[in-house]
Amino acid sequence: MKVFSWIGRHPWISVLTVAGFACLSCPVMILVVLINARMSGKSAAWHSPDPPSARAGDGQPILQLESHTCGLLSLSAAYALYDLPPDDKNLRYRLGVDVPANPLDSSSTGTLHPDLLRVLVQDGFTYEMPSPFLDADVRLRNHLQTSNVALILIRRRETGGLHWVLADAMSGDNLRIVDSLQTHPVSEPIAVYFDQCVLSVILIKPNPSFPDPLGSGPAVTQAHRDGAAELVRVKQRLDRLNELDN
């Protein structure tokens, strides 16, 4: 995914994000410009009227025809499981996949964690992000066994590029992966997948308290903060996987 490749080429974004969370003076303003610019008032403008339904069926890939839309298509495949029409939710605009993270670099497009988490909260989901280097594999297994799904950011074996996929089931020790670059779901051994590919795991499920007008604002703000922090952790995990390869 192009936007993460851009972050990899510009590691200073990680420094700025950490600085922002530490409440340092000048970098905070830069961080706000870099990350919040893609929101462009969308968090305040959108209140989804239709909550997710109970999950029905298995996920199916939506074929990817553009290099930067894997996150959009993985989320769309997840929404279809909960009877949420992706087009009705205007996901492409709200995720900002066509808006460069860096206005000076047109290739820095794609789905970023802050936008993804914000949209999930706005549309009636909750999320958790366990660490891939701690207990994420166990928590993912338990999560999928309760008929919930997860969005996973991976480093592709074929190219080393970053890519979003959907995990929607377990069969023994294998994950069922819905990948926009594959015509059918594929099976991946969970242990090997985590060792070689997984950079970020987002466990999602319907929010039983949705809609909650009083809590929607703070929840969206927190989602954006959580997503910005996860961007830093993704860079750290990517560096670690690259070190293990060498």
Cα 185 from chain centroid (whole Å) = 19
| Residue 160 and residue 134 in contact, taking contact as beta carbons nearer than 8 Å | no
Q: What does each C-alpha distance from 242 to 31, 160, 237, 238 come to in angstroms?
A: 26, 9, 9, 6
225 vs 221: CA distance, rounded Å = 6
47 membership: H or E segment, kind and range:
none
Structure-block tokens of residue 96 = 């900002």
Per-residue pLDDT of the chain (246 residues; tens, 9 = 90+): 655 554 444 443 443 333 333 333 333 333 443 445 455 445 444 556 678 999 999 999 999 999 999 999 999 999 999 999 998 999 999 999 999 888 888 878 999 999 999 999 999 999 999 998 888 999 999 999 999 999 999 999 999 999 999 999 999 999 999 999 999 999 999 999 999 999 999 999 999 888 765 456 778 899 999 999 999 999 999 999 888 887
113 in Cβ contact with 228 (< 8 Å): yes
Cα–Cα distance for residue pair 196/156, rounded to 1 Å: 9
CA 144, CA 117: separation in Å to the nearest integer? Answer: 19
CA-closest candidate to residue 153, choices 99, 95, 194, 183:
194
Domains of the chain listed by start with CATH number = 2-52+63-245 (3.90.70.10)
Instruction: Return all residues near 158 (Cβ < 8 A) that are at least 6 apart.
Output: none
pTM: predicted TM-score of the whole model, two decimal places? 0.83
